[in-house]
Structure 1
Amino acid sequence: MDYLYHPFPAKRHTVFAKKGMVATSQPLAAQAGLEILRNGGNAIDAAIATAAALTVVEPTSNGIGGDAFALIWTKDKIHGLNASGPAPQSISAEELRTKGYEKMPMHGVIPVTVPGVPAAWAALSEKFGKLPLKEVLLPAIRYAEEGYPLTPILGKYWKLAYHKFKTSFTSEEFTSWFETFAPNGKVPEVGEMWNSPCHAKTLRTIGESNARDFYEGKIADQIDTFMKKHGGYLSKSDLLSYKPQWVEPISVNYRGYDVWEIPPNGQGMVALMALNVYKNLEKPKWQCADTIHQQIEAMKVAFMDGQAFITEPEEMPISVEYLLSEEYAKKRSITIKDEASNPEPYDLPKGGTVYLAAADEEGNMISYIQSNYMGFGSGIVIPDTGIALQNRGHDFSLDESHPNVLKPGKRTYHTIIPGFLSKDGKAVGPFGVMGGYMQPQGHFQVVTNTVDFLLNPQATLDMPRWHWLKGKTVQVEPEFPNYLVQSLVRKGHTIQVTTDGGSFGRGQIIWRNAETGVLQGGTESRTDGAIAAW
């Protein structure tokens, strides 16, 4: 693939390498993956090592108690892993309504669902890895035992969470969060060391047992005991019955490139629906208000339908196949006019997620994402384990008529999505943009900037982004050209210029040259992103 120059002053430059590459949001985690590559592991081993390290060196966005998804390219075939966990068997919408809840709470023990992250690591290692899981987790264990200094963006979000939590997390079940992440009543500052020996012990147990202990052993007992004590619903029986799911990835063809996502319950198909609708509109023009307007409107259409229909596949009122069909795309593209539309608004919360991409010289590539959701997740940390549990159940509806209504053993609409690009049956590479409901919007912008405007990976990530919130409201970054802002306003959009970089997601890209095998990667300038390569 040939690329144009970088259209804006480069914040970073595209990295090139041949033997292997890891791109993620934290330098130490990227180095953990590279260490495993140098020790004889493949891209999948490197991804697991990086993911495990991220639970230590970026706990503001993910943890052992979260969920994960992956797209793996190996031997010219793509595989999908859905390691999102279901609601506990003892919880239901009726149960919570009886207790006076009108909607799912955001924090505490109630929105905790079965964690999928440890099972994801074990499944990936067993199916595709070259090294034992216990060896792959060693860099993460070392960071947890010895400690590491906080990086700037990490420190920023850690402090914001602490100041928020110290006024709202006042009951006993949150005590362990403060003991773990604010030891001695003080949040660690940027450049200060932080370690978590309990986290290291848990990682070592997961590695030695191939994650079985987490779901059926001592760790499962600790989770069960804590939940029973504090009125939670997650139990050891829920953990015992959990298995991650290997799935067939879904795709659409966008101007000659196949764009791959994980099927529902994930929201990846929102990006695919938007691309399918958008390609039926006028040919895109560089930095043109009409083009940006059509992109936003195509995303609105996709989100309206995604929010209405995406849940467990068997409970969706409209099939995935139809929503990704050319017939559907053409019908929806006709509804897009020259003025901003005002669809039914959705309350779109921010997310807390990490994304990574990895590749090796054998041709293996992986797009991997894991999350605790909304930063630190539920605020629940299991004592003496370092396990911060997710609050993914917050996305369930308590309305019995809604497709995403809370039911025992059901997985909710899921925001975290890995992406992958291929062309003519050959891998181009993994990409992803984390950040709650920004994620499909980020995927859409990565693909259009890459395919339509031939931007290199770093230029693609550095491009000023837009983020549709609801109705006619769209956020843009300060670098977004003013003439485009003014033109979009004239088309009826309400534009908010914001300096909150977290609103626009954080992405990583690795592309492979099909002829030479040379890798080229871009990392996120909106966070402490890094690429480790050799």
Structure 2
Amino acid sequence: MAVNQSVIGSKAMIASPHYLATAAGARILERGGNAFDAAVAVSACLAVVYPHMTGLGGDSFWLGYHRAEGKVRGYNASGRSGCKASIGAYAGLAAIPTRGAGSVVTVPGMVDGWDAVHRAYGRLPWGQVLAPAIEYAENGFPMSKDQYANTARHEAMLARTLDTADIYLPGGRAAKPGARFRQRALAGTLRRLAQYGRDDFYKGEIAKEITDCLGLRDGLLTADDFADHVGDWVEPVVGSYRGYELYQMPPNSQGFAGIMALHILEHFPLGGIGHGSHDYYQLCVEALKLSFRDRNRYLTDPAFSGVPLERLLDKSYAAKLAASIALDRALPAESEALGSDTAYAAAVDEEGNAVSFIQSLYFEFGSGVVAGRTGVLLQNRGSFFSLDPGHVNSLQPAKRTFHTLMPAMACRDGKPAVLYGTQGGEGQPQTQTAVFTRIVDYGMDPQQAINEPRWVWGRTWGEPTQELKVEGRVPAEVLASLARAGHRVRKVNDFDGIMGHAHAIVRDEQGFLQGGSDPRCDGAAIGW
């Protein structure tokens, strides 16, 4: 399999999991937009050209650096559960359904995120930023291999809802790769947003169509839930690693787990340990398992239950955890069965503004429910709430759930140096750790860091077992030694989509931008 080559530029760069979205972001920059305009345009385009991974019916998280402000700021564009959401609403069930209207528990936060980021920092008119997405939805685009594979795999689920099947299964089957794929209903919704703005999605005709559709299916979300929705500007969670300042989104995001893992790894001389060796994989996997233990114990909506970030991110606590790691023994640990569909992207402009952002529907195609004539595929993120009233992430009204989405940014001397992130549920902190340590400890450019063999431990794609899945390019002797240490090792394909779709932008010591896009997806990095 051919792998991507690193992209180098000196002025600006865009990286995303679909080449058309990347190209749209580049066009926005060329037309005078800044990184924030480009990021919203890329996000909107991904909602069209990568519909199995993201959409207007989902959530997003944003980390942005505005040069004039000189600081990193976050926006939490995730939705809360509806006023009728309660454990009692699912009486007789062991868990919230993962598909169908019963899985639609939280209000989509995506559109609010676009509006907030653009209002705060955008330069171009709102309609101009949304224009590329409207064009792709109305006129169509070539069906990608990734979209086709996911559509074919989920044909039976998509066929359950007529409005969904009409769009995603023309003629009753998934369209073949390369076929023109149109979403005219979604184009109409995007046009309304361009004309009337964010409030049409939460208080206007779009909101009415979505909630009327859910009402006919005994859904829990109401018009009042949409009207009450608002996202939040937040202070990022901060850590450090070998001279870099680390920034992640605060809870309800799992971002702090990524910082915890790096704090633990800072106690080991990774640069002196052979990359791709048993010790490299062992240290990374064990550090992440320890961070997951605390994440699973505490992560939820902080408005409902406090998350002790000060203690979890304390370097002395990291030292204690690091001391528990053995090179020849796998620690016992439990992972969560988390969803997988996500799209990460990043944008940097010539002024030095930078945006690292991520968005999702939770499972592939989310709930599987397209809301009436809107063309909007609704997420099933709220299905991760627990029906156990004693669980930290138990379902309650107006609550945000445990969220896997975690865009990352690392700074040097207060300025963005590395923007990175990935698709993949519980795989997100794992792949972030792989990419970042390869860049910082091993001096790899972002493309090489992404191309190198990866691993994913646990149940990130709903797997029933706690396997350590490792790409087939890892030497057999390393796989054997990991198995002897107690890992349940399974070799997968050489470049396996189960590892997620990672992307990164690095500003090197000379000021050049270097970009990488994952060969496991349909993406591209463009720089100039």
TM-score (norm 2): 0.95
Q: CA RMSD in A?
A: 1.7
Residue among 478, 484, 489 paired with 1:484: 478
Q: How does 1:73-472 map to 2 (within 5 A)?
A: 73-75=65-67, 76-96=70-90, 98=91, 100-112=92-104, 113-166=106-159, 169=160, 174-281=161-268, 283-284=270-271, 285-287=273-275, 288-316=277-305, 318-469=307-458
Paired residue secondary structure (1:16): strand
8 Å contact 1:154–1:528 — kept in the other structure? no
Distance 1:281 1:21 in 2: 33
Change (3 A) 1:386 1:45: same
8 Å contact 2:325–2:331 — kept in the other structure? no
Change (3 A) 1:248 1:317: closer
Change (3 A) 1:318 1:63: closer
Aligned to 1:32: 24
Residue among 518, 521, 526 paired with 2:515: 521
Deviations 1:306-358 (A, max 9, x none): 01111112444541111111122122222222343353423423410111111
Q: CA deviation at 1:134?
A: 1.1
Q: CA deviation at 1:263?
A: 0.5
Q: CA deviation at 1:196?
A: 1.1
Q: CA deviation at 1:84?
A: 0.4
8 Å contact 2:286–2:331 — kept in the other structure? no
8 Å contact 1:350–1:503 — kept in the other structure? no
Query: What amino acid maps onto 2:505 in structure 1?
Result: I
Q: CA deviation at 1:472?
A: 6.1
Distance 1:443 1:315 in 2: 28
Deviations 1:406-446 (A, max 9, x none): 10000000011101111121210311111111001111111
Distance 2:89 2:422 in 1: 36
Distance 2:214 2:363 in 1: 21
Aligned residues: 517
Paired residue secondary structure (1:124): helix
8 Å contact 2:83–2:225 — kept in the other structure? yes
8 Å contact 1:304–1:343 — kept in the other structure? no
Unaligned runs of 5+ in 1: 1-8
Distance 1:421 1:349 in 2: 26
Moved more, 28-37 or 466-475: 466-475
Aligned to 1:23: 15
Paired residue secondary structure (2:489): strand
Deviations 1:365-391 (A, max 9, x none): 110111111110001101211100000
Query: What amino acid maps onto 1:495 in structure 2?
Result: V
Paired residue secondary structure (2:102): coil
Query: What amino acid maps onto 2:6 in structure 1?
Result: T
Moved more, 16-25 or 414-423: 16-25
Change (3 A) 1:282 1:513: closer
Distance 2:349 2:216 in 1: 46
Distance 1:394 1:128 in 2: 33
Distance 1:344 1:435 in 2: 19
Query: What amino acid maps onto 1:530 in structure 2?
Result: A
8 Å contact 2:39–2:355 — kept in the other structure? yes
1:494 and 2:482 correspond: no
Distance 2:474 2:89 in 1: 47
8 Å contact 1:472–1:492 — kept in the other structure? no
Change (3 A) 1:497 1:225: same
Paired residue secondary structure (1:387): coil
Residue among 41, 44, 54 paired with 1:49: 41
Residue among 503, 508, 526 paired with 1:508: 503
Aligned to 2:462: none
Query: What amino acid maps onto 2:61 in structure 1?
Result: F
Paired residue secondary structure (1:107): coil
Moved more, 291-300 or 347-356: 347-356
8 Å contact 2:158–2:169 — kept in the other structure? no
Paired residue secondary structure (1:141): helix
Distance 2:328 2:393 in 1: 31
Deviations 1:31-86 (A, max 9, x none): 11111111111111111111111111110101110000011011131110100001
8 Å contact 2:304–2:399 — kept in the other structure? no
Q: CA deviation at 1:216?
A: 0.4
Q: CA deviation at 1:510?
A: 0.9
Q: CA deviation at 1:206?
A: 1.2
% same residue: 37
Distance 1:474 1:291 in 2: 14
Distance 1:468 1:89 in 2: 36
TM-score (norm 1): 0.93
8 Å contact 1:506–1:527 — kept in the other structure? yes
8 Å contact 1:145–1:200 — kept in the other structure? yes
Q: CA deviation at 1:142?
A: 0.6
8 Å contact 2:34–2:122 — kept in the other structure? yes
8 Å contact 2:13–2:525 — kept in the other structure? yes
Q: CA deviation at 1:514?
A: 5.5
Distance 1:219 1:165 in 2: 22
Change (3 A) 1:336 1:241: same
Distance 1:210 1:230 in 2: 27
Aligned to 1:6: none
8 Å contact 1:426–1:514 — kept in the other structure? no
Residue among 58, 62, 77 paired with 1:70: 62
8 Å contact 2:152–2:173 — kept in the other structure? no
Aligned to 1:5: none
Q: CA deviation at 1:283?
A: 4.3
Paired residue secondary structure (1:479): coil
8 Å contact 1:22–1:357 — kept in the other structure? yes
Moved more, 205-214 or 468-477: 468-477
8 Å contact 1:268–1:417 — kept in the other structure? yes
Moved more, 349-358 or 190-199: 349-358
Deviations 1:73-127 (A, max 9, x none): 111311101000011111112332x2x1111110111222100110011011100
Q: CA deviation at 1:163?
A: 4.4
Q: CA deviation at 1:260?
A: 1.1
Deviations 1:253-298 (A, max 9, x none): 1111112110000011111111112222454512321232111111
Change (3 A) 1:138 1:510: same
